[in-house]
Structure 1
Amino acid sequence: MRTMTPTHNTPALTHIAAPEGVAPGTGYTHVVMGTGRLIAVSGQVAFDADGKVVGENDPAAQARQVFENLRRCLTAAGAGFENVVKLTFYVTDVAHLPAIREARDQHIDTHHPPASTAVQVAALFRPELLLEVEALALLPV
């Protein structure tokens, strides 16, 4: 299935949810392509503006903070979640994914979600952190 989703703030993107011979994903698109200016946002964790961890032992609170940090980073680049073509999730426990998806779904177009990868890791750089998310976005030229 291919869909084009251009808006005034985004380049024309093609979403291929299920390429031939590939099972459809749940909550992500297998392929998102377009042309424009690439923005890479480093992995964001649940730090507030003062560098303090938000939501220790609370994956939902950490996910909300991570997506707020992503929003701020995208805004600094003149972009928004509508421009995100790829999200990469690093989680210390895949059992946290439902809470992470809930926070994510408050920001993305769930009908045309970005490509995504989720990886369970043994640990992040601080033991109280439960997830890290990085983003790739595409702005019109």
Structure 2
Amino acid sequence: MATMDVFQYDVPAESDFGYAQAIRSGELIHVSGQLSFDEAGEFRHADDFAAQLARTYVNMDRVLDHYGATRNQVVSQTVYVVNLRRNAATAAKGNLGYFGDHRPASTVLGVTELTMPGQVVEISFVVDTRLPA
């Protein structure tokens, strides 16, 4: 029987919207869209794509660390980008820097807006802990 482990940062948005940052079900971890918020749950770096992307990767690592997983176990991701044409090269460079030689399945979507005012990037992903770390 599969077990379920829910991960929360305990930030207001989780209760206000009613979601978990991540849920582990068996060997898979489904991670909600990560964005540029700090440890206190405050959104940071409004309208600064590169800074938001860097902070989003820090938050992705926080989720992975909670589960004892690594970037090499990420099997898919969806990247939501405001002003995709303007930010595509920075997104690609950040992705390559974050994952190195690892290549998860990826979908990049250009969107008109995201939840927080000034938010320009969000990344959701799936982790398979059966893969080598």
Structure 1 length normalisation: TM-score?
0.68
Given residue 96 of structure 2, which amino acid in structure 1 is its aligned partner?
D
Cα RMSD of the aligned pairs, angstroms, is 1.7
Tell me by how many angstroms 1:102 deviates. Answer: 2.2
CA deviation vs aligned residue, 1:77-115 (integer Å, no higher than 9, x gap) = 1111010010101111112122222222222133x4110
Partner of 1:96 in structure 2?
A: 87
Partner Cα separation in structure 2 for residue 74 and residue 85 of structure 1:
13
Contact 2:78 2:124 in 1 (8 A): yes
Partner Cα separation in structure 2 for residue 46 and residue 135 of structure 1:
15
Given residue 81 of structure 2, which amino acid in structure 1 is its aligned partner?
V
Aligned pairs, how many?
A: 105
Matches within 5 A, 1:1-141: 37-94=27-84, 95-110=86-101, 112-140=102-130
Largest Rg, 1 or 2: 1
Partner Cα separation in structure 2 for residue 52 and residue 104 of structure 1:
24
Structure 2 segments unaligned to the other structure (5+ residues) = 1-25
Partner Cα separation in structure 2 for residue 96 and residue 54 of structure 1:
18
Tell me by how many angstroms 1:127 deviates. Answer: 2.0
Partner Cα separation in structure 2 for residue 87 and residue 97 of structure 1:
16
More helix by proportion, 1 or 2? 2
Contact 1:82 1:109 in 2 (8 A): no
Structure 1 segments unaligned to the other structure (5+ residues) = 1-35
Given residue 48 of structure 1, which amino acid in structure 2 is its aligned partner?
D
Given residue 95 of structure 2, which amino acid in structure 1 is its aligned partner?
R
